[in-house]
């Protein structure tokens, strides 16, 4: 293959928006020659490389749009330090709960892995080419309140509604004004039986009234989130604290 041919192919791939083929056709051609690969085999390898790269770029874009606080996966979670069922989380990560629009709730004290597990499910959903958004309860409410103030609430609610999965982290850490609760309830109610939601909280349901002052709204919110839901308790003892103490003990010995 002459330099002129290579240059022409690269330009054509650029025009056709196939950058991976443009970058790999020469290398794959050499490999095909060495292994006596057929023309069809060579074409399959080229197209496979392009598809794989496009898939990787699409997933990277979805992960970026999800606004995850950190890139944490279920593989990185220390299940041996927790009472959470690894089998249950693996099953959830397969994504059936998203397809069925079933809520997932992580309930436990600080340091028990709620955010890590929720993030891991969000990453898994992004890898399945689903549109995901991670937020804290406070950040969501602030965004909706600003939209309402600018007479853009309907548009903001529409953006939340179009997502395949939303994760609301840290519900229960800060008491919420009634108006704020109404805004968050509207997002959750709009998704009921239509789209999935993940919530992490440090409070058992019996104590939600501490942060949601309106009893009827509190009851309605719990009703929406627990309908057909997966409720996972992560415990009271911080596994991060246990890990730190174990590391210090190991360092001294």
Taking a C-beta distance cutoff of 8 angstroms, is the pair 101, 191 a contact? yes
Taking a C-beta distance cutoff of 8 angstroms, is the pair 194, 101 a contact? yes
The total of other beta-carbon atoms located within 10 Å of residue 99's CB is 12
Mean pLDDT of 222-230: 95
Q: What is the model's pLDDT at position 21?
A: 79
Distance CA 67, CA 76 (A): 19
> Mean pLDDT lowest for which of 16-30, 166-180, 192-206, 218-232?
16-30
Taking a C-beta distance cutoff of 8 angstroms, is the pair 217, 185 a contact? yes
Q: What is the model's pLDDT at position 63?
A: 97
Taking a C-beta distance cutoff of 8 angstroms, is the pair 102, 149 a contact? no
Mean pLDDT of 32-51: 86
Strands 104-108 and 230-235: parallel
Percent of the chain with pLDDT over 70: 94
Mean pLDDT of the chain: 90
Q: What is the model's pLDDT at position 245?
A: 58
The tens digit of pLDDT for each residue in 20-41 reads 878 888 888 888 888 888 888 8
Read off the tokens for 155: 């548009």
Distance CA 90, CA 163 (A): 22
Q: What is the model's pLDDT at position 123?
A: 98
Residue by residue, DSSP assigns 101-164 as: T--EEEEE-TTSSHHHHHHHHHHHHHHTT--EEEEEHHHHHHHHHHHHHTT-HHHHHHHHHT-S
The tens digit of pLDDT for each residue in 96-125 reads 999 999 999 999 998 899 999 999 999 999
What stretch(es) of the chain map to CATH 3.40.50.300?
Answer: 74-244
Helix (H) or strand (E) holding 88, with range, is helix 86-93
CATH T-level topology, domain 74-244? Rossmann fold (3.40.50)
Distance CA 192, CA 182 (A): 15
* Helices and strands of the chain, counted as H and E runs: 11, 5
Read off the tokens for 187: 């997002």
**Nearest in space to 42 (alpha carbons), one of 31, 50, 54:** 31
Distance CA 251, CA 245 (A): 10
25 versus 70: the higher-pLDDT residue is 70
Cβ within 8 Å of residue 111, ≥6 positions away: 238, 239, 240, 241
> Mean pLDDT lowest for which of 13-22, 130-139, 186-195?
13-22
> Mean pLDDT lowest for which of 62-76, 80-94, 208-222, 226-240?
226-240
Mean pLDDT of 1-26: 81
CA distances from 95 to 43, 87, 115, 124, 219 (A): 33, 14, 18, 8, 28
Strands 230-235 and 196-201: unpaired
């Amino acid at each position: 293959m002459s330099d002129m041919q290579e240059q022409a192919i690269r330009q054509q791939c650029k025009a056709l928006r196939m950058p991976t083929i443009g970058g790999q056709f020469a290398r794959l051609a050499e490999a095909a020659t060495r292994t006596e690969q057929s023309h069809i085999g060579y074409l399959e390898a080229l197209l496979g490389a392009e598809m794989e790269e496009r898939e990787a770029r699409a997933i990277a874009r979805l992960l970026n749009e999800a606004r995850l606080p950190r890139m944490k996966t279920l593989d990185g979670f220390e299940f041996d330090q927790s009472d959470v069922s690894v089998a249950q989380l693996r099953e959830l990560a397969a994504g059936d709960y998203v397809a069925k629009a079933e809520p997932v709730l992580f309930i436990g004290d600080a340091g028990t892995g709620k955010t890590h597990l929720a993030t891991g499910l969000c990453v898994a959903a992004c890898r399945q080419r689903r549109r995901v958004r991670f937020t804290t309860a406070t950040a969501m409410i602030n965004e909706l309140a600003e939209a309402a103030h600018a007479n853009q609430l309907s548009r903001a609610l529409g953006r939340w509604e179009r997502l395949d999965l939303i994760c609301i982290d840290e519900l229960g850490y800060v008491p919420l004004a009634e108006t704020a609760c109404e805004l968050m309830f509207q997002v959750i109610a709009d998704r009921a039986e239509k789209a999935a939601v993940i919530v992490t909280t440090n409070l058992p349901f019996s104590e939600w009234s501490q942060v949601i002052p309106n009893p009827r709204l509190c009851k309605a919110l719990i009703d929406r989130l627990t309908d057909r839901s997966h409720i996972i308790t992560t415990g009271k003892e911080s596994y991060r604290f246990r890990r730190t103490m174990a590391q210090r003990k190991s360092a001294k010995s």
